[in-house]
Structure 1
Amino acid sequence: MTSNSTRRGVLAMAAGMCCFVANDALVKHVSESLPSSQLIFIRGVFATLLLVVICHGMGATSRLRALGDGKVLMRAGFDAFATMVYLTSLFHLPIANATAINMATPLVITLMAVVVLHEKVGLGRWLAIATGFVGVLMIVQPTGAAFNAYSLLCLSGTFLHACRDLTTRAIHRDIPSILITLSTAVAVTLLAGAWGLTQDWEAVSARQFALLAGASVFLSGGYFLLTVAMRAGEMSVIAPFRYAGLLFALFLGYVVWGDVPNALAWGGIALLVAAGLYVLHSRA
């Protein structure tokens, strides 16, 4: 049976991915009228301020010195560069292709967990993870026509995301997860600000500010939940549940935009759910 710690990690991972999808939906809307670096920076400022308030409320501000911990800084760096690399590739790829490539992160994590953390993964779990990835491909239905240098750049972003998650596991457990979350928000904001120096900035309306503030709430929640998930239980069990974000994206797409999956996508959903349930309840 799966330990309580692993179960908490699975729930945190699934909820965190849903938060990221909600954030992406808001940012996608704002990106139609603002430069990407500018909106990421503004969203990052909101997220950082929010997290500082939360840290203070949780009594964690007395331990801000922990932000200088080497592993915390390393994780924040991995996350910041992974964000920018992924977004850069996304600007030049169909979103389905970029999403499919990024969803390879659990497979990369599993491979790295075996090599670095010496976790044992049985054949059944390997097959379940592979089946889940096939389900993802059936849902997003990428085409090979757009596989180019930017696809390789996106793949490097997937590797950076895996490095981020592995680094999370190495951070001392005495350091509060909320501080690790704050470090990520600060790193992404600073990098976006530096990127913004190369672009022209535009006037921001009150509505755009409000949408970005809302996105920052979901982003902060996603950061925190992902940190909690990657510090709990067996990584090779928890990692595949980032696929939950795709299920939520399908639901959100139907409710907001009226998008209905075709037969192939529904088949992928079935594989995804079946593989996830197997991984959760097995110790293969």
Structure 2
Amino acid sequence: MPRSDNLTGALLMMGSMAAFTLNDAMIKALAGQVPLFQVMFLRGLVTTILVALIAWKMGALKRHLPREDWGPVFWRMVGEIGSAYFFVTALYHMPLANISAIMQALPLTLTLAAALFFREPVGWRRMAAIMAGFIGVMLIVRPGTEGFNIYSVYGLAAVAFVTLRDLATRRLSRDVPSMLVTLFNSFFIMAFFGLGSLTGDWVALDGRAALLICGAAVMIIGGYLFSIMVMRVGEISFVAPFRYTSLIWALILGWLAFGDWPQTLTLVGAGIVVASGLFTLYREAQISRRAKADLKRQLSLGPRPR
């Protein structure tokens, strides 16, 4: 029995989330052994080499970046560097599931930012879902309580920078090869953390650390390639909700690899964030289908007589 495009897309999305979360777990496993800037520079070095090879194989290196895309590419790069720094710093000091739960707020912040900066319409239902989601984030972060620390704020900063990255991505023209943009970002992340690593001491890597860094680089690229393939099969409205499987992976890996299990209040907050995000995606899909139906109806009526 042939597999449907939607099922293929769902499997690719789950594969992408698994790869990204495995990368996070491998990086976290190096906390306390290898300095953060050294880890990120070395992972960036391996990633950049592999991405360059893939981009060359795909012919992306022969393409030129249009002048009008320089601005979006720059802001996307700022978003990538900022999110990488704040996320990995938080990851080094927080349970994997906690930082992953905070990152689930991304669809909500992206919808809100698109409404504020791009004037995209957001109805009261989606706005209510966004507000509920932010309440869920506060339950995860719990400012003012004994369990609160600065790294929860770092997690929120990572969400803000990823939102900036995704907003900038929306402004890129369709002619820009994805692998070329990825190569730019990978190179500048490597350069940023390479310069940062010069301010501290380096440590010698044992076989385990070297294997984890290489594995993290492979997982990052695998996650990115899967996410590109997702966009080419299935309906986005069906496939997008499967991004939340990253939280399931984070819970499992956090428990198995690090012995961490979130507090009940954190799980409740994560549940609210996920439910709010799913509702937001559902409403966006409804509105998109309605707009397509209206357009189809108008086209079927034909032009009005003059």
Cα 1:133–1:235 shift into 2, 3 Å = farther
Q: How big is the shift at 1:48?
A: 0.6
Q: How big is the shift at 1:11?
A: 7.6
> Following the alignment from structure 1 to structure 2, what is the Cα–Cα distance between the partners of residues 211 and 67?
37
> Following the alignment from structure 2 to structure 1, what is the Cα–Cα distance between the partners of residues 263 and 238?
29
Q: How big is the shift at 1:41?
A: 0.6
Q: Which deviates further from its counterpart, 262-271 or 74-83?
A: 262-271
> Following the alignment from structure 2 to structure 1, what is the Cα–Cα distance between the partners of residues 19 and 204?
27
> Following the alignment from structure 1 to structure 2, what is the Cα–Cα distance between the partners of residues 267 and 156?
22
**Number of aligned residue pairs:** 278
Cα 1:185–1:12 shift into 2, 3 Å = farther
Correspondence list, 1:238-249, <5 A: 242-249=243-250
> Following the alignment from structure 2 to structure 1, what is the Cα–Cα distance between the partners of residues 166 and 231?
6
In structure 1, the residue matched to 2:59 is 59
Unaligned runs of 5+ in 2: 1-5, 288-306
Correspondence list, 1:151-162, <5 A: 151-162=152-163
In structure 1, the residue matched to 2:213 is 212
Counterpart code for 1:40: M
> Following the alignment from structure 1 to structure 2, what is the Cα–Cα distance between the partners of residues 46 and 104?
30
Counterpart code for 2:65: A
> Following the alignment from structure 2 to structure 1, what is the Cα–Cα distance between the partners of residues 190 and 124?
41
Counterpart code for 1:110: T
In structure 1, the residue matched to 2:299 is none
> Following the alignment from structure 2 to structure 1, what is the Cα–Cα distance between the partners of residues 66 and 169?
13
Cα 1:271–1:158 shift into 2, 3 Å = closer
Q: How big is the shift at 1:224?
A: 4.9
Q: Which deviates further from its counterpart, 261-270 or 46-55?
A: 261-270
> Following the alignment from structure 2 to structure 1, what is the Cα–Cα distance between the partners of residues 192 and 276?
37
Q: How big is the shift at 1:90?
A: 5.2
8 A contact 1:128–1:275 mirrored in 2: yes
Q: How big is the shift at 1:79?
A: 0.8
In structure 2, the residue matched to 1:169 is 170
8 A contact 1:76–1:184 mirrored in 2: yes
Q: How big is the shift at 1:92?
A: 6.1
Unaligned runs of 5+ in 1: 1-5
Provide the secondary structure at the position in 2 that maps to 1:30: coil
8 A contact 1:113–1:236 mirrored in 2: no
8 A contact 1:85–1:153 mirrored in 2: yes
8 A contact 1:97–1:142 mirrored in 2: no
8 A contact 2:97–2:251 mirrored in 1: no
> Following the alignment from structure 1 to structure 2, what is the Cα–Cα distance between the partners of residues 86 and 254?
20
8 A contact 2:87–2:155 mirrored in 1: yes
Alpha-carbon displacement from aligned partner over 1:65-107 (angstroms, at most 9, x marks no partner): 4398512232112211222133345556676765555443333
Q: Alignment identity in percent?
A: 37
Q: Structure 2 length as normaliser, TM-score?
A: 0.71
8 A contact 1:67–1:183 mirrored in 2: no
Provide the secondary structure at the position in 2 that maps to 1:66: coil
Alpha-carbon displacement from aligned partner over 1:11-51 (angstroms, at most 9, x marks no partner): 87665443221101111112332111111111111111111
In structure 1, the residue matched to 2:252 is 251
8 A contact 2:24–2:216 mirrored in 1: yes
Cα 1:125–1:241 shift into 2, 3 Å = farther
In structure 1, the residue matched to 2:179 is 178
In structure 1, the residue matched to 2:303 is none
Cα 1:150–1:273 shift into 2, 3 Å = closer
> Following the alignment from structure 1 to structure 2, what is the Cα–Cα distance between the partners of residues 82 and 230?
23
8 A contact 2:13–2:243 mirrored in 1: yes
In structure 1, the residue matched to 2:37 is 37
> Following the alignment from structure 1 to structure 2, what is the Cα–Cα distance between the partners of residues 277 and 156?
22
Correspondence list, 1:74-93, <5 A: 74-89=75-90
> Following the alignment from structure 2 to structure 1, what is the Cα–Cα distance between the partners of residues 164 and 232?
14
In structure 2, the residue matched to 1:20 is 20
